[in-house]
Structure 1
Amino acid sequence: MKRRAQPWLGTLVDITIADPLSDAELAACFDDAFAAIAEVQRLMSFHDPQSDVSRFNRAQPGEAVPVHAHTREVLRTALGVYGASEGIFDISCAPRLVDAGCLPPPGGKRADHVPGSRALSLDEGLHALKSGPLWIDLGGIAKGYAVDLAIQVLQRRAVRSACVNAGGDLRVLGANPVLIRNPRAPTDMAMQVELQDESLATSANYFSGRDAAAGSVLIDGRNGRACAGDFSVTVRAPSCMLADALTKVVAATQDANHPAVARFGACAFII
């Protein structure tokens, strides 16, 4: 078993491959998988002024912003989870995170979070349409998509046993046991989950590196309030992108049986 780790997407991304490959084959697998993750950071970073997200945030209302196909897919899924959760998962909560000091101001005209706003839409091509003042942040879903892309790279290289883990958002090829941290004692493990070609994402305030007084980075899109508490939410889903987004729905409602979870073929539990 070989393992490599690199810092991407604000966390340490860990890739493990168990297939009996040559050193050259392993190097190619790791290089390609990390390149896919780097592409997601390049496209969807809130901090990079050249990213699709930053260009959209700086755009004026009424503009159609060209975006990469990867960005469009993440936006499409984000809008789908927004609708299924009745606004709980909302990528337009970025102003709340800026105000809390979790994100830097992106430049351009100030945009406030308006619950229920539908100022973002997608055309049939590769454009994101901005119909009103809006700042978006894909931090609650892009890591999961990056994990999915890395797994797809490994699948194309015929890897059969692997794990890609981006700070608690992970997906496995083959059978792989995964340990879940105790949110009240993050150095301890609370449970083990057996995965088989599945994804798992965990959201908890201990992942943010911020103390309780600083506030949570998990935001309820219905009201813009932070989801406080020392609990953790884990979602098991067919894709890591969905698992990543749905953890925010469960965290906001503290309901592991929220209808949006089953709608996307997922399941959840709270520790």
Structure 2
Amino acid sequence: MMRRAQPWLGTLVDITADGDAQTITQAFAEVALVHRLMSFHDAASDISRLNRAAAGELLEVHPHTWQVLRLAAQIGELSQGLFNIACAPRLVDWHCLPRPDAADMPAYRPTQAVYQCEQEPLVRKLAAGWVDVGGIAKGYAVDLAVEALQRAGVVAGCVNAGGDLRCFGDRAWPVAVRDPRAPQRSGAQLELRNEALATSAAYFSARSHEGRQISALVDGRNGEPLVMANSASVRAPRCAIADALTKVVLASGDAQHAVLAGLQASAFII
């Protein structure tokens, strides 16, 4: 097994695989592509272009961006708005995301659709608003890296992007999940085999802002910050699905939420 790590997507991406250095480099290239296409910070990214677009404008985006936007919309609909990537104005207001240069911040309206995916790779901006795919794109990048390894003939490996991970091959991979009340300790230990796991919690991002507690996690139904002491972990076939569903479970407090079964996922709360 070879193990390499690189900083991408605001975290450290760790790849362990039964392959050579060139193959792992190709997997990292997929992660780097997602970083470039879907960054809220980069004015040239597809996400920034969508955020700058006027209502009614039709944009052509990269197929990967289109896939992430479509999946985000699907999970938002299935979860009845618990997952909502249009929460970016809240995160900018709380200084969790940088404010785009020379831009008037749109109001956050939880029930308002900001975009619509049309025929791939076209996206229509429906209303003023900003989206941030930080709650799903990391998992999607993990999936792309795994697929790159598999295309190259790698038979076993694990891609871990800051705790959002996916393993494949004929072996079990031991994983420790942090205790949200004492993140330096393990709160649960499990084994993964040909599946993904993602965890969300506020223990690193929670802080006081203008007299209230906020975090980098938002309840998509009402725009309120998620600052509870729990963590939510989701197991699923794909990491993008697990990544997004952690926010649904954390916001609802329901590890048996109806949306899980339909996406072949399961969850636990610590």
TM over 0.5: yes
Distance 2:238 2:13 in 1: 17
Q: How far is 1:66 from its partner?
A: 1.3
TM-score (norm 1): 0.94
Aligned to 1:236: 235
Distance 2:98 2:208 in 1: 20
2:166 paired residue among 164, 171, 191: 171
Aligned to 2:148: 153
Residues 214-229 of structure 1 aligned to structure 2 (within 5 Å): 215-229=214-228
Aligned to 1:96: 90
Q: How far is 1:125 from its partner?
A: 2.9
Instruction: Tell whether 2:21 aligns with 1:13.
Output: no
Aligned to 2:262: 263
Distance 1:211 1:113 in 2: 21
Contact 2:30 2:145 in 1 (8 A): yes
Please tell me the residue identity of whatever aligns with 1:244: D
1:201 paired residue among 186, 190, 198: 198
Distance 1:10 1:206 in 2: 16
Deviations 1:196-254 (A, max 9, x none): 1100000111343x446652111011100011122111000010000000000011011
Instruction: Tell whether 2:126 aligns with 1:131.
Output: yes
Deviations 1:42-74 (A, max 9, x none): 000000000000011111111111100000000
Q: How many residues align?
A: 264
SS in 1 for 2:216: coil
Instruction: Tell whether 2:107 aligns with 1:112.
Output: yes
2:182 paired residue among 185, 190, 201: 185
Distance 1:212 1:200 in 2: 29
Distance 2:188 2:136 in 1: 24
Contact 1:218 1:251 in 2 (8 A): no
Aligned to 2:28: 34
SS in 1 for 2:35: helix
TM-score (norm 2): 0.94
Determine what percentage of the aligned residue pairs are the same residue: 54
Aligned to 1:54: 48
For structure 1, the 5+ residue unaligned runs are none
For structure 2, the 5+ residue unaligned runs are none
Aligned to 1:69: 63
Contact 2:15 2:159 in 1 (8 A): yes
Instruction: List structure 1 segments (4+ residues) > 2 angstroms apart after TM superposition.
Output: 106-110, 210-214
Distance 1:85 1:225 in 2: 16
Distance 1:94 1:43 in 2: 17
Deviations 1:85-116 (A, max 9, x none): 00110000000000000011124342111011
Contact 1:48 1:54 in 2 (8 A): yes
Q: How far is 1:192 from its partner?
A: 1.4
Contact 2:114 2:130 in 1 (8 A): no
SS in 1 for 2:203: helix
